[in-house]
């Protein structure tokens, strides 16, 4: 099974690369670069010293914005889930703001923060905070009230109830939501860097397009974005498999 886990994705990737090369070879536009051209473009970026630096810049912005989203979204979701009045007051606003694409906030972010790290970090935090808050609130509200009542009967305070009852109950589902939110934040940073900053993988892609139409570097940047996104997702999946976070409330328990 372990062998198949790696063999099947590898075989599928090889097939896709072969189809990519076939499409380039039979195409008439001459714009789309082939796999070898992209590999050479990746090496060029490495030799210029921008490959690692731009990737680190993007990861740093995502780390800061995502941390802000988690720091605000989880407490807000807990508060909404524990208090009926807070949920009634805050949930409509959260549900109005949640579907708005963070990309639509780019003009406002530039007005507020100018050209620099502030704008993309703001957009990343915005992309993550509302889905996290909404999901945590829903998960907390799904915990049977009898569990909370039993904890209070045993003399537990609100802080202890959150730590010993709610968090163990909602942690597996919350981690899944946090993984999805991280993926959204990674998408947003690439889009924001195309407009609001002068470094990062998004800037690399748009700058390669504008400066000489270097589509080999454009696709190289896209491949790097996808590879880093895969690593981030796999890292979160490993965290979800930790034994201490597997337990959670199930409706049939």
Burial 91-116 (b: 16+ CB within 10 A, else e): eeebeeeeeeebbebbeebbeebeee
Please provide the CATH number assigned to the domain covering 35-245: 1.10.3720.10
pTM of the model: 0.83
Determine the average pLDDT of the residues in 84-94.
Answer: 90
Q: Which pLDDT does position 252 carry in this prediction? A: 38
Sequence-distant (≥ 6) Cβ neighbours of residue 208 within 8 angstroms: 214, 215, 217, 218, 221
Whole-Å CA distances, 148 to 103, 141, 172: 40, 11, 19
In the predicted structure, residue 244 carries a pLDDT above the cut 60: no
The ranges assigned to domains in the chain are 35-245
* DSSP string covering 96-141: HHTTS-GGGGHHHHHHHH-SSSHHHHHHHHHHHHHHHHHHHHHHHH
Mean pLDDT computed over every residue of the chain:
84
């Amino acid at each position: 099974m372990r062998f198949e886990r790696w063999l099947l994705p590898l075989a599928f990737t090889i097939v896709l690369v072969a189809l990519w090369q076939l499409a380039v070879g039979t195409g008439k536009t001459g714009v789309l670069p082939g796999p070898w051209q992209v590999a050479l473009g990746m090496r060029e970026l490495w030799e210029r010293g921008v490959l690692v630096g731009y990737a680190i810049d993007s990861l740093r912005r995502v780390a800061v914005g995502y941390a802000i989203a988690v720091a605000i979204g989880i407490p807000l979701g807990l508060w909404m889930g524990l208090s009926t009045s807070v949920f009634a007051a805050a949930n409509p606003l959260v549900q109005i703001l949640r579907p708005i694409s963070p990309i639509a906030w780019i003009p406002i972010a530039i007005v507020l923060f100018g050209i620099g790290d502030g704008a993309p970090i703001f957009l990343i935090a915005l992309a993550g905070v509302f889905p996290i808050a909404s999901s945590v609130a829903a998960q907390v509200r799904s915990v049977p009230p009898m569990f909370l009542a039993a904890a209070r009967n045993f003399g537990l305070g609100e802080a202890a109830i959150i730590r010993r009852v709610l968090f163990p109950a909602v942690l597996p589902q919350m981690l899944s939501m946090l993984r999805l939110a991280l993926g959204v934040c990674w998408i947003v940073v690439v889009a924001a860097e195309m407009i609001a900053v002068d470094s990062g993988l998004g800037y690399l892609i748009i700058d390669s397009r504008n400066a000489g139409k270097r589509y080999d570097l454009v696709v190289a940047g896209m491949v790097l974005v996808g590879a880093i996104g895969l690593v981030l997702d796999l890292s979160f999946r490993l965290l979800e498999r930790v034994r201490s976070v597997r337990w959670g409330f199930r409706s049939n328990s």
